[in-house]
Structure 1
């Protein structure tokens, strides 16, 4: 067998191949080195500032310094809302390896009730920026703090922080006027200035606290600190002090507010008092109330459900949101409308047989005194609260003129400058009914409005404001709750103040006032019982608002009606007549006639304001009311 011949090696070809391979390897190395050098240049030169800043942030941390919330005082410097030291539980999510396990451990350590666990977990996710602590719990007690301290090694990212917490010394009395603060929720968080609210866990929820949130909150500060690799602070590098919120001085008189609550004595209702000349709200009471301090730290589910299901509606601010028929309290205002529109004169009289009938209508609209008051003029009609006189006047005026004139006093609109959550209530009109029910306005409905019944609804604040405008002889001064913000006085002349009410004859005011004085001091006055031994001149008007309508020829009997279906008692007054210093509106739900129950409360309020050395005895007032409950002498 013949062997195959091996090809001879070509040295030149092998050398060429070696050189090409070496060159290719050098090119690859050069390219890779170039890429590495370029990357190093990009990172160290081009991106120097970026990575230097990132490195610095790993070493240097900026922490927010929340401002101290401004305090709230009454007109005499009595503290109504303060800040007290407390301990809060916070969590930084980025420093927690297993969030679910950490939250589960906290639930066990703090013994959080089952119904509150989900809310606890939700709060762990609420924050404004990375590495910002989320507030889990407020106002920890000593036992809770001790348990957290013992288990600190098991809770990385969880801290107990000392902080000032809002506290209301007289919570139940002031809650509906002041409002309260609470934890910032997710919806509020989205609309807040992240920088200014960094480190702040609470915000005004209702009332004054919410309306003046910007002033009370202040401006957040910050501090720059150096930390180690574990995030522990080594030293402070600098800081900017926060600007505390401004203190707020209210027009409220805490003693008068407390008296209003005591006079209502747990009965559902409201008392509002205003200084007519300045528009200062002296008292804004709604009963029943509740402890607003529960909402600051986070009310538990069971307690909140109890408040919601309470038939007396303690969460409901009756003073600014309660809707009530005004009853006969609006008769002086309607009389002014009749004078201004030329439908009556101060000496106009009617004969009252005990009822009024529309032309070509057999239905009788009855006076509260079924046999009538005989011959009645304007002043006597107010004093005895004669329905027939005002049925006649309302029919002559018509709903359009009534709506226009009553709106001028603030009915059917928000009247105050800084009362958060105030309701418009309802001043009915022809257009309103068409839009609401797609029905025309009927003459009989005008008669109901003429005695403060039917569709007409007002709030106690509206009634007090209208009374103050009446006491001022038509001059409008917008009601307000703030007297001073920091050192700056809140002006008496506020924007959007309605125009003054001008009458052709200034003497007409005196005739209206005279009729209202006779309500209290006249021998026929519906509230003549409170006029005994009166030490000043007081003008007032009682009112009785029906909760449900009576059938034709049906007679009202309080003893046969469920308590919550009985008439509401209303009374409005101002004093002294010659130079009014206080205007008061009182509404007591289901208390019967306004000439008895509500009138005594109004007198006690004016006594307390005008006779400083002779403050009313609430026990005596209660005894009088117990004797007179159920006795009705007029509307």
Structure 2
């Protein structure tokens, strides 16, 4: 009986257990409900602004509006760089579900050749700012646009955008002077203003396009649009117009530029022409050039490799970066240095037996005319390009004074105000040689510099600038390419312009000019044949620059040398002498004597400007205060 009573239920005990469990459940429910209510309060009250903004961003999107790039004109209003409408393919990586699959589909739809596929995929993965479109391909064809439109539903994050693309009507003629624009790369992206360059895919890479990037680019705008869940635009909610870039008017004259290129006639070389009074660069040609339009849309690998490996170096700007021995074109500047330092006088005469010897030295530094010119004064030394006279002058001056005087003319410096990528040339000194070779400077090296050989190297732009300064009788005006930015003229007198050259006696300029005139029209002038029939007074100086050195008793014979080992031909000139309107520097690589192969090119340039294009009128500043005979080379160096 006792065991049966123990198995019967105890209602009071069960009720206590039920009440305990019910109370525990109520506590848990109340706690969870409190947490839920607290979370709801936090999200909807405390964080209301944050989540409402996020929600708005899912519906409203701000899109950048790139500005229209400024146009570039020559001095006469001829278009040099324009913008043409085109269609570009862009991709926003954050809106793409499967990037690899999307790229494969794009390659298939666009029918890309195998050699372009790798570059196409690299561009898609280049670092971009979040939600900024990456430019995959430019200048789409109509058939490509049609295929992309039909498959648009399969390509989230991919857009075809109508934009303006840079185009150069005379690409090869202006390639080095203008430069070109190209796609913004990852390194450039780090330094650019993210707001101003949002939506912009191109930036100036070289030349004028690079130097005046800030002015040509403009300011970006934006528009606020409403989108659906797939990111498609439904309507525009707001709009801020971009500010277009400023148009740029250059000092270049397209007629002169074309003439310079045609005169070189495919030969490697450069021609630079400057208006001395204003510093305006009228022509700056480097041959060979290249098609700069290829770089705008992205040059293919094969074409770029062909340009890089071309032995004629079409990508190299000879006009601004080419360094050449000055040859005898340095002699007028040496003459002015000797006169201003009091080392020589205009009437002083030396006797030239055909060579020069340093004191206590048996070596003979030969004149180009081996039997010599006999009695030579300053003007005759310039007219016949006598080496012996300038060996003597160089020795008397010494390398220190030569360096300082030539530097005052702009040699060894970057002379132009707004030319991107200028070379320095090389103006040697004792300190330079000690630093470069850890050696002392030798007297024989001074003689070589005195006739434009040895270590001395000049660029065609430097030589043209120095010639313009010579024509200005020592007055410095920095060469420049920009004539107007928008409607504002570029100042001629720039704050960083070097000091003018003071020579002590103004008649010294006249005596040097007289010697240079005799080069063109004198009975013994080295370029007298080129000067025949001149309708104005022209001062010039020819030069022949050695590519390699000869032994003391060796004689130069061009017919026995490979073409690329032959001398360079140089010529510098300005005209008219009494009121200079143009200064020209010409370099023709491996052409031989300057009076034979370069003087006629300089004469054609001065004829064109004075008689045809400018009709003898001076190129005045728009806003003053603002903004062949004897072509032989010996062991001594160049003739002429």
Partner of 1:483: 483
Q: What SS does structure 2 have at the residue aligned with 1:529? A: coil
How far did 1:234 drift?
A: 1.4
CA deviations on 1:343-381 (whole Å, 9 max, x unpaired) are 111111110000011111111100000000001011111
User: 2:525·2:629 contact (CA, 8 Å) conserved in 1?
Assistant: no
Partner of 2:508: 508
1:294 equivalent in alignment to 2:294: yes
Q: Structure 1 residues 523 and 629 mapped into 2: Cα distance closer, same or farther (>3 Å)? A: closer
Q: Mapping of 1:37-76 within 5 angstroms?
A: 37-76=37-76
Partner of 2:433: 433
Looking at structure 2, the residues matched to 424 and 23 of structure 1 have their Cα atoms a distance apart, in angstroms, of: 92
Q: Mapping of 1:476-625 within 5 angstroms?
A: 476-612=476-612
Partner of 2:618: none
Partner of 1:620: none
Q: Structure 1 residues 424 and 511 mapped into 2: Cα distance closer, same or farther (>3 Å)? A: same
User: 1:592·1:629 contact (CA, 8 Å) conserved in 2?
Assistant: no
Looking at structure 1, the residues matched to 12 and 192 of structure 2 have their Cα atoms a distance apart, in angstroms, of: 80
CA deviations on 1:376-403 (whole Å, 9 max, x unpaired) are 0111111111000000010111111110
Partner of 2:86: 86
Looking at structure 1, the residues matched to 469 and 282 of structure 2 have their Cα atoms a distance apart, in angstroms, of: 16
Moved more, 260-269 or 512-521: 512-521
Q: What SS does structure 1 have at the residue aligned with 2:339? A: helix
CA deviations on 1:28-83 (whole Å, 9 max, x unpaired) are 22221111111111111111111111111111111111100000000000000000
Partner of 2:223: 223
Moved more, 467-476 or 99-108: 99-108
How far did 1:529 drift?
A: 0.8
How far did 1:13 drift?
A: 5.7
User: 2:369·2:630 contact (CA, 8 Å) conserved in 1?
Assistant: no
CA deviations on 1:314-360 (whole Å, 9 max, x unpaired) are 00000000010000001010111111111111111110000011111
How far did 1:235 drift?
A: 1.1
Partner of 2:461: 461
User: 1:329·1:570 contact (CA, 8 Å) conserved in 2?
Assistant: yes
Looking at structure 1, the residues matched to 113 and 363 of structure 2 have their Cα atoms a distance apart, in angstroms, of: 62
User: 1:607·1:614 contact (CA, 8 Å) conserved in 2?
Assistant: no
How far did 1:488 drift?
A: 1.1
How far did 1:2 drift?
A: 7.9
Q: Structure 1 residues 398 and 613 mapped into 2: Cα distance closer, same or farther (>3 Å)? A: closer
Q: What SS does structure 2 have at the residue aligned with 1:30? A: helix
- For normalisation by structure 1, the TM-score amounts to 0.95
What are the ranges of 5 or more consecutive residues in structure 1 without an aligned counterpart? Answer: 616-627
Q: Structure 1 residues 336 and 41 mapped into 2: Cα distance closer, same or farther (>3 Å)? A: same
1:408 equivalent in alignment to 2:386: no
Looking at structure 2, the residues matched to 166 and 193 of structure 1 have their Cα atoms a distance apart, in angstroms, of: 21
Partner of 1:472: 472
Looking at structure 1, the residues matched to 36 and 105 of structure 2 have their Cα atoms a distance apart, in angstroms, of: 48
Looking at structure 2, the residues matched to 208 and 229 of structure 1 have their Cα atoms a distance apart, in angstroms, of: 45
How far did 1:507 drift?
A: 1.0
Partner of 2:266: 266
Q: Mapping of 1:280-429 within 5 angstroms?
A: 280-429=280-429
How far did 1:93 drift?
A: 1.7
Q: Structure 1 residues 608 and 157 mapped into 2: Cα distance closer, same or farther (>3 Å)? A: same
Q: What SS does structure 2 have at the residue aligned with 1:124? A: helix
CA deviations on 1:501-530 (whole Å, 9 max, x unpaired) are 111111111111111111111111111112
User: 1:355·1:365 contact (CA, 8 Å) conserved in 2?
Assistant: yes
How far did 1:94 drift?
A: 2.4
User: 1:395·1:443 contact (CA, 8 Å) conserved in 2?
Assistant: yes
How far did 1:542 drift?
A: 0.5
Q: What SS does structure 2 have at the residue aligned with 1:570? A: strand
1:174 equivalent in alignment to 2:180: no
Q: Mapping of 1:48-197 within 5 angstroms?
A: 48-126=48-126, 128-197=128-197
Looking at structure 1, the residues matched to 141 and 266 of structure 2 have their Cα atoms a distance apart, in angstroms, of: 32
Q: What SS does structure 1 have at the residue aligned with 2:330? A: helix
Looking at structure 2, the residues matched to 338 and 264 of structure 1 have their Cα atoms a distance apart, in angstroms, of: 34
Q: What SS does structure 2 have at the residue aligned with 1:109? A: helix
Q: What SS does structure 2 have at the residue aligned with 1:611? A: helix
How far did 1:21 drift?
A: 3.2
Looking at structure 2, the residues matched to 227 and 358 of structure 1 have their Cα atoms a distance apart, in angstroms, of: 86
Aligned residues: 623
Q: Structure 1 residues 597 and 341 mapped into 2: Cα distance closer, same or farther (>3 Å)? A: same
Looking at structure 1, the residues matched to 296 and 17 of structure 2 have their Cα atoms a distance apart, in angstroms, of: 84
How far did 1:244 drift?
A: 0.3
CA deviations on 1:429-459 (whole Å, 9 max, x unpaired) are 1010111111111111111101000011110
Looking at structure 2, the residues matched to 109 and 300 of structure 1 have their Cα atoms a distance apart, in angstroms, of: 20
Looking at structure 1, the residues matched to 451 and 378 of structure 2 have their Cα atoms a distance apart, in angstroms, of: 14
Q: What SS does structure 1 have at the residue aligned with 2:270? A: strand
What are the ranges of 5 or more consecutive residues in structure 2 without an aligned counterpart? Answer: 616-627, 634-638
Moved more, 539-548 or 604-613: 604-613
Q: What SS does structure 1 have at the residue aligned with 2:599? A: helix
User: 1:178·1:207 contact (CA, 8 Å) conserved in 2?
Assistant: yes
CA deviations on 1:594-627 (whole Å, 9 max, x unpaired) are 0111100000000000001799xxxxxxxxxxxx
User: 2:595·2:629 contact (CA, 8 Å) conserved in 1?
Assistant: no
User: 1:558·1:566 contact (CA, 8 Å) conserved in 2?
Assistant: yes
How far did 1:163 drift?
A: 0.9
1:207 equivalent in alignment to 2:207: yes
Q: What SS does structure 2 have at the residue aligned with 1:424? A: coil
CA deviations on 1:464-523 (whole Å, 9 max, x unpaired) are 000011111111001110011111111001131111111111111111111111111111
1:255 equivalent in alignment to 2:255: yes
Partner of 2:246: 246
Moved more, 265-274 or 157-166: 157-166
CA deviations on 1:202-228 (whole Å, 9 max, x unpaired) are 110000000010110001111111112
How far did 1:20 drift?
A: 3.7
Looking at structure 2, the residues matched to 521 and 464 of structure 1 have their Cα atoms a distance apart, in angstroms, of: 21
Looking at structure 1, the residues matched to 511 and 209 of structure 2 have their Cα atoms a distance apart, in angstroms, of: 42
CA deviations on 1:178-205 (whole Å, 9 max, x unpaired) are 0000111111111111111111111100
Looking at structure 1, the residues matched to 328 and 149 of structure 2 have their Cα atoms a distance apart, in angstroms, of: 65
Looking at structure 1, the residues matched to 238 and 126 of structure 2 have their Cα atoms a distance apart, in angstroms, of: 28
Q: What SS does structure 2 have at the residue aligned with 1:492? A: coil
Quote the RMSD (CA, aligned, Å).
Answer: 1.9
Partner of 1:624: none
How far did 1:415 drift?
A: 0.5
Looking at structure 2, the residues matched to 586 and 423 of structure 1 have their Cα atoms a distance apart, in angstroms, of: 17
